[in-house]
Amino acid sequence: MGIRDLLDEVASTYDRSAGSRREVRGQQVLRAVASRTDLALPPGFRAEGHGGQTTPAATPWIGVFDEQGMRDPKKGVYLAYIFSADLKNVTLTLQQGITWLEDRLGRGRAREEHLRHHAARLRRAVRRKEHSHWVDEPSLRDSAARPRAYEAASVIAKVYDTADLPSDVTLMEDLLLGIQSLRRAEEFDHVWWMSNDAGALELAYDLSGHAQRSAESAADFDPLADFQPKDSSDYQVQISARQQVKQRSHEDLVKDFGHHVLERGYNPITRLKHPRDLVLRQQQVATERGDEWLVEAKVIRNGNSTAAVREALGQLYEYRHFLYREQPEPFLIGLFSEEIGIYAPYLEEHGIASVWRADDGWGGSPRARSWGMTTE
């Protein structure tokens, strides 16, 4: 027995229509993978089978995990043998975790576009051109959200015909090549995530529009239900044996302003609004337009308001153009960590209000004051 026999057994026994109960043969095969000792995996690696829990998986898979590396398929990179929905193919793929993105990007096109963007970045790290007979993405032949995400999350992939699987020797050679690529991807992925890059979640424009929150009764509505700013605590990262402590003052700025405007009659929303920093809607005001205020937050570094203003202006225009094609245009606000001086009237001329931290609260431009968003 070995990897070949395991893949063949899954392909011949898995039956999605049979459900996910313990007595279902295909599910038994997958659940027993973790305890098998005949797979001859390289030292330090383990395998787990996944066929779904309450609902059977459309595309069953077997994860191959590095015990010293990423152990959770929800985030990071890992190797997996993923079967197509019709079980005619199984693909060894270097995968990105997909589940953790749901809270930030949802389960649709925005998540897929982010995954494809980062997969392209990782392909450069793993030297994709050296992998002959490998492809970028497999075709899993199912339209559900999870199989589509698996396709988008693939960095490199080797596709096998389950009716004509190669020998265990060939499968092991491919797995070792996959492990080599995994090592490279893990190193790149770790440094990239820990770099404090503001673009860690790349812009993923979903041009089909954005679903609005369903109506709730006044008694049940929580104005902070969709306001989930990231943790503002300091955090430590290890990069090339050099420890850095980084301040998340951007998140503090968004959080503090969100709580401030809540008291001024606005509902702050961050959930499923990436790449936008913050969206505001008026409380208990139903307008035909469905007015929104789009907020871009910038921390001014070393007193250089010029750079912060340029970035805010460009991003606000960009988001308005791409994210509101099928919605009324939002009002635009630049949110700053300190006063921006002569740039406040400059932004006003471009249709952008500005708000900034002040010693005694929040200052702002005339437009921001007219909306009641300042403490002046």
CATH architecture of the domain 3-193 equals 2-Layer Sandwich (3.30)
The separation between CA 190 and the C-alpha centre of its own chain, rounded to angstroms, equals 15
For 40, the token pair is 């001859």
- Give a three-class secondary structure readout of 51-90: EECCCEEEEEEEEEEECCCCCCCCCCEEEEEEECCCCCEE
Q: Which of 376, 161, 124, 115 is nearest to 260 (CA)?
A: 376
**DSSP line for 283-300:** TT---SS---EEEEEEPP
Residue 187 tokens, joined: 């190193």
Q: What is the pLDDT of residue 190?
A: 60
Closest CA to 59 of 2, 135, 160, 144: 144
Q: State pLDDT tens for residues 56-71.
A: 999 999 999 987 765 5
pLDDT tens digits, 217-272:
444 445 555 555 555 444 444 434 434 333 458 889 999 999 999 999 999 998 87
Q: Is the bond leading into 366 cis (omega within 30 degrees of zero)?
A: no
pLDDT at residue 122 is higher than 80: yes
Domain coordinates in residue numbering, the chain: 3-193, 235-370
pLDDT the model gives residue 183: 86
pLDDT at residue 337, rounded to an integer:
94
Residue 359, SS3?
coil
Lowest mean pLDDT among 26-35, 96-105, 120-129, 208-217: 208-217
Looking at residue 71, its amino acid is: R
| Long-range CB contacts for residues 281-289, cutoff 8 Å, separation at least 24 | 283/223, 284/218, 289/328
pLDDT at 104: 76
Q: What's the pLDDT score for residue 128?
A: 79
pLDDT at 188: 75
pLDDT at 140 over 50: yes
CA atoms within 13 A on the CB side of 373: 28
Structure token pair of residue 333:
């606000």
Q: Which fold has domain 235-370?
A: Trna Endonuclease; Chain: A, domain 1 (3.40.1350)
Residue 191 has a pLDDT of 57
Radius of gyration of the chain (CA): 25
pLDDT (0 to 100) of residue 121: 84
Q: How far is CA 47 from CA 5, 79, 92, 109, 205, in A?
A: 14, 10, 13, 30, 35
| Per-residue confidence (pLDDT) for residue 75, from 0 to 100 | 67
